[in-house]
């Protein structure tokens, strides 16, 4: 056993020797040092000690003052108070102020157990502090890893989207031009019908590729988070037939990098899960900023989640949402009952990015439209779909734009609209 390093605050040399004899008889190995003045004591506590044993009464000094000085120094050293006579009130005060134990000089049989307990408690406490520090470091590394993984995922998605745009998109565009040329120069009705069918199939392939690109890299976020969420709400309504309403400010100000994408992906995941599992007849999204926190609340009136569902969600789906939110310093709260499920994303914002907002009216999915409406086939009020423009361009070509054909080498400018994305 490693000897215990003991600092003894005692003015009587005889009492010091008696205490050491008591410890030796008990088989306890101790390396001790005695001090009896405040100045010596203050210098001594700068050294590493396993325990401090202090007399209560000292000339011009006291055990309670010594305890206060130890607490003020910030050193974590067990402190045992010993006195010839000590009242209950004084003992309680000493324990309240941080003493590990108190003993009477006429009953030193408790000395060894008291020292061993104090030393073990301190070692346990230090081990816990060290474990907490290591856990904090591990959590920080995990957060950094999660952030790196999320960043890598988004970069990979963007790279795949670019490849689809440049390679697949380019090939489909070239094929569209070729079919358009054949349609303009074919004299066979049967061949024209086949070409028209192929053109329609190709249009569907172009639209599918555009949807895949958008899911991989939501370029609509360039129009702002609110506009992107509004587009998502409209897409959800058209796909599911379930009323979905969004409420929030039209102008959020400048958000920190990464925050809009995290909010968008969270809403995307929530609406996907609602589609698959909730059996809801109404969905609401609330976007707001208050108290320096950006909040996105997604709620439905579906069948709710059981405790088992919540446990399962925490294991996988919700864990992914938490990890994504943590990359921007945010968190996710999930609650559910028989009336439905609510998911809240909260992201604290730096002071310079904070703009207080007030809730607006709920907006339906048809309130905002953009060039991205074509990714779902458009709405009665949407802009002409990208692929539709290609068909229109081909039709104009068949109606006699021979001059342009000669000038452009039989090619219309980007009839599929891939360049716009």
Structural domains in the chain, CATH included, are 4-106 (3.40.50.2300), 156-214+381-420 (no CATH), 244-363 (3.30.565.10)
Which residue's entry shows tokens 């070509």? Answer: 397
Which residue's entry shows tokens 């789906």? Answer: 317
**CA-CA distance, 347 to 360, in Å (whole number)?**
20
pTM above the 0.85 mark?
A: no
Residues 243, 285: contact at Cβ < 8 Å? no
Residues 219, 203: contact at Cβ < 8 Å? no
pLDDT, residue 300, reads: 95
* Burial environment of residue 365 by CB neighbours within 10 A (0 to 12, 13 to 18, 19 or more): buried
pLDDT, residue 403, reads: 40
Q: What is the largest CA-CA distance in the chain?
A: 123
Rounded to the nearest angstrom, the gap between the alpha carbon of residue 51 and the centroid of all alpha carbons in its chain is 43
Buried b (16+ CB within 10 A) or exposed e, 6-45: bbbbbbeeebbeebbeebeeeebebebebbbebeebeebb
Cα 318–Cα 144–Cα 348 angle in degrees, nearest 5: 65
Q: What is the pLDDT along the chain (421 residues), one digit of tens a residue?
A: 678 899 999 988 998 998 888 888 888 888 999 998 899 999 999 999 999 998 888 877 888 899 999 999 988 899 998 887 766 777 778 888 888 887 777 777 788 888 888 888 888 888 999 999 999 999 888 878 877 887 788 788 778 888 888 888 888 888 999 999 998 988 889 999 999 999 999 989 988 888 788 777 777 888 889 999 999 999 999 999 999 999 998 777 788 888 999 999 999 999 998 998 888 999 999 999 888 899 999 999 998 877 776 666 555 677 888 888 988 899 999 988 888 999 999 999 987 655 555 555 555 544 444 444 545 444 333 323 333 333 343 333 334 334 433 334 443 333 333 333 3
Copy the structure tokens of residue 348: 């604290």
Residues 341, 334: contact at Cβ < 8 Å? yes
Copy the structure tokens of residue 295: 């909040």
pLDDT, residue 179, reads: 92
Residues 186, 195: contact at Cβ < 8 Å? yes
């Amino acid at each position: 056993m490693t000897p215990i390093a003991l600092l003894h605050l005692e003015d009587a040399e005889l009492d010091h020797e008696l205490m050491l004899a008591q410890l030796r008889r008990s088989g306890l190995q101790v390396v001790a040092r005695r001090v009896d003045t405040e100045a010596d004591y203050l210098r001594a506590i700068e050294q590493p000690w396993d325990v401090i044993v202090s007399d209560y009464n000292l000339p011009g000094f006291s055990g309670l003052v010594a305890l206060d000085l130890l607490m003020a120094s910030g050193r974590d050293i067990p402190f045992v108070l010993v006195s010839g006579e000590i009242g209950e009130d004084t003992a309680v005060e000493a324990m309240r102020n941080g003493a590990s134990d108190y003993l009477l000089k006429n009953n030193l049989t408790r000395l060894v157990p008291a020292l061993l307990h104090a030393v073990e408690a301190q070692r346990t406490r230090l081990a816990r502090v060290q474990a907490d520090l290591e856990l904090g470091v591990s959590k920080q590394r995990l957060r950094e890893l999660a952030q790196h993984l999320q960043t890598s995922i988004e970069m990979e998605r963007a790279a795949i989207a670019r490849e689809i745009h440049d390679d697949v998109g380019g090939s489909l565009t070239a094929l569209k031009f070729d079919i358009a040329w054949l349609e303009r120069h074919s004299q066979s009705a049967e061949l024209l019908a086949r070409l028209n069918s192929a053109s329609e199939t190709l249009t569907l392939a172009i639209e599918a590729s555009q949807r895949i690109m958008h899911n991989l890299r939501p370029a609509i976020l360039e129009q702002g988070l609110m506009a992107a969420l509004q587009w998502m709400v409209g897409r959800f309504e058209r796909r599911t037939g379930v009323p979905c309403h969004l409420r929030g400010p039209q102008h959020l100000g400048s958000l920190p990098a990464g925050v809009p994408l995290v909010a968008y992906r969270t809403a995307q995941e929530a609406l996907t899960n609602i589609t698959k599992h909730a059996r809801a007849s109404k969905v609401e999204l609330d976007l707001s900023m208050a108290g320096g926190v950006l909040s996105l609340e997604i709620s439905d009136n579906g069948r709710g989640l059981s405790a088992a569902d919540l446990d399962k969600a925490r294991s996988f789906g919700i864990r992914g949402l938490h990890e994504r939110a943590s990359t921007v310093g945010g968190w996710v709260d999930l609650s559910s009952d028989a009336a439905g499920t609510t998911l809240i994303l909260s992201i604290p914002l730096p002071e310079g990015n904070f703009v207080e907002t007030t809730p607006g009216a709920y907006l339906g999915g048809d309130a905002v439209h953009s060039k991205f409406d074509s990714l779902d086939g458009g709405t009665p009020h949407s802009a002409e779909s990208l692929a539709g423009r290609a068909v229109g361009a081909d039709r104009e070509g068949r109606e006699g734009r021979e001059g342009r054909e000669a000038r452009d080498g039989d090619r219309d400018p980007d009839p599929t609209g891939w360049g716009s994305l």
